């Protein structure tokens, strides 16, 4: 199992509000379909100059490869130049 953070943005404003909402929904659905556990989801503040969203999740490595491919397809479909996938060590505090 790996812990992953997935982050998307609309910093350059390429997406309309409706397109941004659909992009977020599609990424969220893809994550829910593959993740073992969804820890949290964050969104930028409403008054922020750029839109962004971030998910923290646990996933097994094979499903992670499939999710990365899913997310790449979604990102390209919305014409977005990047999506961040950051794997991290999981540290449990007693």
Strand duo 37-43 + 84-88: pairing:
unpaired
- What is the pTM (predicted TM-score) of this model? 0.92
Strand duo 2-9 + 37-43: pairing:
unpaired
- Give dist(CA 8, CA 77) in Å, integer: 13
Return the half-sphere exposure (C-beta side, CA atoms, 13 A cut-off) of residue 73: 8
Tens digit of each residue's pLDDT (9 = 90 or more) over 3-46? 999 999 997 889 999 999 999 999 999 999 999 999 999 999 98
Q: Is the Cβ–Cβ distance between 67 and 34 less than 8 Å?
A: yes
Domain boundaries, the chain: 12-38+57-87
Question: Rounded mean pLDDT of 67-92?
Answer: 92
Q: Is the Cβ–Cβ distance between 7 and 86 less than 8 Å?
A: yes
């Amino acid at each position: 199992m790996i812990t992953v953070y997935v982050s998307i943005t609309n910093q350059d404003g390429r997406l309309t509000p409706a397109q941004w909402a659909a992009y977020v929904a599609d990424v969220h659905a893809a994550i829910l379909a593959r993740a073992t556990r969804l820890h949290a989801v964050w969104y930028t503040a409403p008054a922020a100059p750029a839109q962004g969203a971030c998910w923290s999740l646990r996933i097994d490595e094979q499903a992670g490869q499939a999710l990365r491919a899913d997310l790449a397809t979604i990102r390209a479909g919305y014409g977005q130049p990047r999506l961040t996938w950051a794997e991290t060590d999981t540290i449990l505090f007693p």
